[in-house]
Structure 1
Amino acid sequence: MITDYSIQAIAINAIPLIFAITIHEAAHGYAARYFGDNTAYMLGRVSLNPIKHIDPVGTILIPLMLILASSPFLIGYAKPVPVNFGRLRNPRIDSIWVALAGPGSNFAQALIWAIFLITLIGFGVDERFLLAMSQAGITWNLVLLVFNLFPLPPLDGGRILASLLPARQSIAFGKLEPYGFFIVLALVFTGLIGSFWMEPLTAFFKGVVYFVTLPLQMLF
């Protein structure tokens, strides 16, 4: 999370964060189209244009209010990609893949930023801005990956869990969706989601990234 709100810190974090959010949302739309639902594609949401995914409240207002309040946490959300799960060829199974597409894209981006960082260091590039931006790219994508896997709707983890539950329990669980973000927000500010979910899982995926890129590290 950003704790330094200087112009330099914002510049370092802006590019990887915009890419992380934009590709995350576009991945949901692409996966939905692949499995049979063209809703997001017809609405122009299968796009790498960040403007298509900006939510005035979640992407701008909430983060701005947290910055002005000097909050140690900076969270928000993009405009959800519309998916008509009933149009998927196999709604129960395909909806899991659609939900996983966003976090999966964040893991892929974390790997790419890690490879970029290792390559910079390996070739002796001492450009602090690029090094810091690469590190921010790894961190932001892992944070978004883990945060979105939290098993509560409307987060991706909640949609995955809903698809795995029996029909009756899934319907009951889905009724939490209108309140889900506020519940998560409360868990963030109490520190519970950080201590018991974000920190251990982020460390786990950071270890996975390290393991996958180990051959490249050894090469340099």
Structure 2
Amino acid sequence: MIDWLPELLVAILATVLAITLHEAAHGYAALALGDDTAQQQGRLSLNPIRHVDKVGTLILPGILLAVQLLTIGRVEAMFGWAKPVPVDVRRLRNPRYGMVLVAAAGPAMNVFLAWCAAMLAHPLQELSGVLPPDAMDLGVRFILLSIMANLLLGLFNLLPIPPLDGGRIMVGLLPWRAAMALARLERAGLVIVMLAIFVLPRISPSLDIMGGLIGLVTGPGFRAILWLAGHGT
């Protein structure tokens, strides 16, 4: 077997679970708040195939995986997105604040999944004398990558730029005039996000948003999740 293939599969599994359940959480939250659009369109599903976006779920993560495995021989971080679950804000019982809850459901799911991954370390530790070393290594890598992927995806989506979840949360919480001004940015939101990720760091290292998020995830965020899962400080 190719040496890096097991780690590739583990990284794909961790990333797909993070992205898929993030989107599914939006759909289930919308349904609970009165909008069944996702259900009617067959998108209220835990099946990853229903949420696949060619670029965000396949091409970009594939490039990141290949580059990391070919350069450093391991996977340290992943990034991607899924096809957004359709939500009709007009069908929510309370459109404005309902959308806040729908948007927040995705990042909340990622934090929960990161905690679940950290909890897996307890039974894995109990099996340390039973499982072969290679299986233990893959188990540890899955836990670490799951925590990192979920925390990074959740925090990234909380950036206050529509159409990211953080932008939609801010639209629901800001005063009406400011909310409408922010909502109008949604058409150019993806361009703004890409500029923030790839252009601003070249202007100044202090403007490296992704670097800051990664530092937060691998530092305080990681320690907080481990503490919440009962692994001490």
TM-score over 0.5 for the pair = yes
* CA apart distance, 1:212: 1.3
Aligned to 1:173: 182
Identity of aligned residues (%): 38
Aligned to 1:34: 32
Aligned with 1:76 (options 53, 73, 80): 80
Alignment-mate amino acid for residue 163 of structure 1: G
Looking at structure 1, the residues matched to 16 and 211 of structure 2 have their Cα atoms a distance apart, in angstroms, of 26
Native 8 Å contact 2:111 2:154 kept in 1: yes
Show CA shifts across 1:16-37 (max 9, x none): 1111111111110000000000
Aligned to 2:16: 18
Aligned to 2:142: 133
Pair 1:67–1:185, CA change in 2 (3 A): farther
Pair 1:134–1:32, CA change in 2 (3 A): same
Looking at structure 2, the residues matched to 202 and 168 of structure 1 have their Cα atoms a distance apart, in angstroms, of 37
Aligned to 1:90: 94
* CA apart distance, 1:197: 4.0
Aligned with 2:152 (options 123, 143, 151): 143
Deviates more, 1:56-65 or 1:21-30: 56-65
Looking at structure 2, the residues matched to 24 and 138 of structure 1 have their Cα atoms a distance apart, in angstroms, of 14
Aligned to 2:220: 204
Looking at structure 2, the residues matched to 112 and 86 of structure 1 have their Cα atoms a distance apart, in angstroms, of 34
Looking at structure 1, the residues matched to 229 and 142 of structure 2 have their Cα atoms a distance apart, in angstroms, of 18
TM-score after normalising by structure 2: 0.81
- Give the root-mean-square deviation of aligned CA atoms: 2.4
Aligned with 1:118 (options 107, 112, 122): 122
TM-score after normalising by structure 1: 0.85
Deviates more, 1:120-129 or 1:143-152: 120-129
Show CA shifts across 1:43-74 (max 9, x none): 11110111110112322234445567779975
- Give the SS at the match of 1:37: coil
Tell me, which stretches of 5 or more residues in structure 1 are unaligned?
Answer: 1-5
Say whether 1:60 aligns with 2:58.
Answer: yes
Tell me, which stretches of 5 or more residues in structure 2 are unaligned?
Answer: none
Pair 1:65–1:114, CA change in 2 (3 A): closer
Show CA shifts across 1:84-142 (max 9, x none): 11111111211111011111111111111100023312442552111111111111111
